[in-house]
Amino acid sequence: MSQNLSAWSGVLACPLDHYTLIQNPDGALVCSHCGFFPPLIENKGRQVLDFRAEGTPQTVSVSFTLPIAPLDRYQLAQTHFRAPAAARASSTSQVKLKTKLDAGCQYYLRQLLAEHGADVPILDLGCGSGDNTRFLREIGFRNILPVDWSAVGAEILVDAHRLPLKDRSFRIVVSTAVFEHLYNPFVAMAEISRVLDDQGCFLGGASFWEAWHGSSYFHLTPDAWNVLLNQNALYLNDLWAGWGIVPAAISHVLTPGHFRRLGYGIQGLIERVYRLWGGEMAVRKFQLRASGSYMVYATRHQ
Ligand SMILES: [Zn+2]
């Protein structure tokens, strides 16, 4: 086990049944219940433990309460979108850090740091090359576990539908641009809720547009986020638009791979027109009609 990973040995569990992993005399981890063991594999030039249990079938159950009341779009425009507004108000005093995280996510992460402290355990789910983990470290968080299906930044390889982590072992789960790539968002959100503790919160977002980018399946609407969270003991505390519909349409549909910055420019221009015409509410209603992505901040309780 790497030095980084041994710090997390207390939260690791069997991905199939969540039983404790015990260490063999030779140092290898093995499930105390079913005998599962994560093989050490070479992943993009790095030796990592593979907890995905690829090829091992598993039955999971998901419970629903129906019907679920849909969100009221106009009410949402009034009560949510707090993150970008707060980020605009506080951005002048902050050091700019290089990150793909949008201003709303950056705002909440700084708030969470102040509220929960630097040592709370954070799961960076679908960490990719490690951009989110780098940002979290730069602002001061010290306990971040980056995991991914296969990306280079991962400390361990995991399947988001069966996390190899103990119940209530994390305070914060961060997951951006991941959910649209999952086969079953309900199962994955149930797993996130399971590993979050009683004060746990989820910060993330998914593509709403971009029908083809990598392999992607469920591109989430605001209502989809609300249902996913609501069915898993989490509350949609805030929601806002990530990147706009115009850059998404230009750089993914009209001229794939090009003119993204031009798209941002036009999006900004359209939003300015809406703002002049109908104020912040008009901008939000425009962003709720369609967006490149929607971002959410969710907490255990209202
Ligand atoms: Zn097991």
Q: Measure 215 CA to ligand 1 centroid, in angstroms.
A: 29
Q: What pLDDT, on a 0 to 100 scale, did the predictor assign at position 109?
A: 96
How distant is the alpha carbon of residue 142 from its chain centre?
A: 18
Torsion of CA 281, 282, 288, 291, to 10 degrees: -120
| Ranges under pLDDT 50 in the chain | none
pLDDT of residue 92: 62
Radius of gyration of the chain (CA): 20
CATH architecture of 73-244+291-299: 3-Layer(aba) Sandwich (3.40)
Which H or E run includes 176? strand 170-176
Q: So where are the chain's domains? A: 3-46, 73-244+291-299
The tokens for 123 are: 């799961």
CA distance 35 to 16: 10
Expressed in angstroms, the distance from the first to the final Cα of the chain is: 39
Distance 152 CA to ligand 1 centre (A): 26
DSSP 232: T
Kindly give the distance from the C-alpha atom of residue 20 to the centroid of ligand 1, in angstroms, as a whole number: 8
* Centroid of ligand 1 to alpha carbon of 16 (angstroms): 5
Q: What's the full length of the chain, in residues?
A: 302
Measure 261 CA to ligand 1 centroid, in angstroms. Answer: 48
Residues 64-101 pLDDT 10s: 888 889 999 999 999 999 998 888 888 666 667 788 89
Compute the distance from residue 258 Cα to the ligand 1 centre, in Å. Answer: 47
Task: Give the pLDDT confidence score for residue 199 in this predicted structure.
Answer: 96
CA of 9 to the centre of ligand 1 (A): 15
Q: How far apart are CA 24 and CA 172, in angstroms?
A: 31
pLDDT digits (tens, 9 = 90+) for 246-273: 999 999 889 988 999 999 999 999 999 9
Two structure tokens written together for 187: 């199962």
Instruction: Tell me, in angstroms, the distance from the centre of ligand 1 to residue 218's CA.
Output: 29
Q: How far is the CA of 1 from the centre of ligand 1 (A)?
A: 19
Q: Characterize 112-149 residue by residue with b for buried, 16 or more Cβ atoms within 10 angstroms of its Cβ, and e for exposed.
A: bbeebeeebbbbbbbbbebbbbbbbeebebebbbbbbe
Residue 273, both tokens: 């027109």
CA 133 / ligand 1 centre spacing (Å): 28
What six digits make up the tokens of 4? Answer: 């980084």
Contact 144, 125 (CB under 8 A): no
Tokens, residue 38: 């994560």
Amino acid 93: pLDDT: 62
Per-residue HEC secondary structure of 140-166 comes to: CCCCEEEEECCCCCCCEECECCECCEC
Compute, in angstroms, the gap from residue 164 CA to the centroid of ligand 1.
10
